[in-house]
Amino acid sequence: MDDQEEISRRIEAWIRRTAYGGSPTATQAESGRTRMRRWAQRILAADERWMILDTETTGFGAGAEIIEVAAVTPRGETLIDCLIQPGRRIPLEITRLTGISEGMLVGSPPFRLAWEQALASQLGARGVIAYNAPFDIRMLRQNIQRHCGMDWSPVGSDCLMRAYARYRGERMASGGYRSHKLGAACAQMGILHDHAHRALGDCLASARLLQAMAQ
């Protein structure tokens, strides 16, 4: 290869790297989208092995209590939909965010009873997919430990938020993929997101997002 050919090759490589202002090239973006499309297709094909889960909580730290949990199959069939009595006051900002008030939880089971009646059988049989899965899995793990005295880990897990970030393919300066809130992801994909920040509403929106990614 002569010097001119080498210069031309380097210029072409530079153009590919810097296309779209430093974003991945169209080929790279399509490759990531194709991988995530296949991932979504595999999840839908194994509908009986997975649940899409969401929790609403009194906060975000180690002492937070779950006040609502829901789960649907990847194709959108409801598996779990229950309010949970946390045994403490719900912060006003949580009520403003979720619409869940203390009055709504009167008569709801405490976590241990909800675990025995519904959660244990489902969470022991299906892997967990969630939009920001590390948060929901941490909330479940600490509530199960606190109220049931058990160590728990899902039989399988994956994060829809991370998968959608790769599907979207927007690079950050740090080199990773830009994450999007569930509402933003649904808007980008033309998906109706009813009842945001309620567990079942977020589960159903997540299922529709997964299905759209598989197309």
pLDDT at 92 (0 to 100): 97
pLDDT value for 129: 98
> CA torsion 69→74→77→80, rounded to 10°?
-20
Nearest to 84 by CA among 56, 60, 62: 56
pLDDT at 31: 85
Whether the Cβ atoms of residue 76 and residue 208 lie closer than 8 Å to each other: yes
Give me the CATH topology for the region 3-213.
Answer: Nucleotidyltransferase; domain 5 (3.30.420)
> For residues 98 and 68, is the Cβ–Cβ distance under 8 A?
yes
The secondary element (H helix, E strand) that includes residue 73 is: none
Q: How far apart are CA 215 and CA 210, in angstroms?
A: 9
* CA 134 to the chain's CA centroid: 9
In this prediction, residue 128 carries a pLDDT of 98
Measured distance CA(55)–CA(120) in Å, rounded: 15
pLDDT at 32 (0 to 100): 86
- Provide the residue-wise pLDDT of the chain in tens; the chain has 215 residues: 555 555 545 545 443 443 333 444 555 566 889 999 999 999 999 999 999 999 999 999 999 999 999 999 999 999 999 999 999 999 999 999 999 999 999 999 999 999 999 999 999 999 999 999 999 999 999 999 999 999 999 999 999 999 999 999 999 998 899 999 999 999 999 999 989 999 999 999 999 999 999 99
Residues 57, 192 contacting (CB under 8 angstroms): no
What secondary structure letter does DSSP report for 91?
P
pTM summary value:
0.85
Q: What pLDDT is attached to residue 175? A: 86
Domain chopping of the chain, boundaries: 3-213
pLDDT computed for residue 23 by the predictor: 46
C-beta contacts of 103-106 below 8 A and 24+ residues apart: 105/67
Per-residue pLDDT at 46 = 97
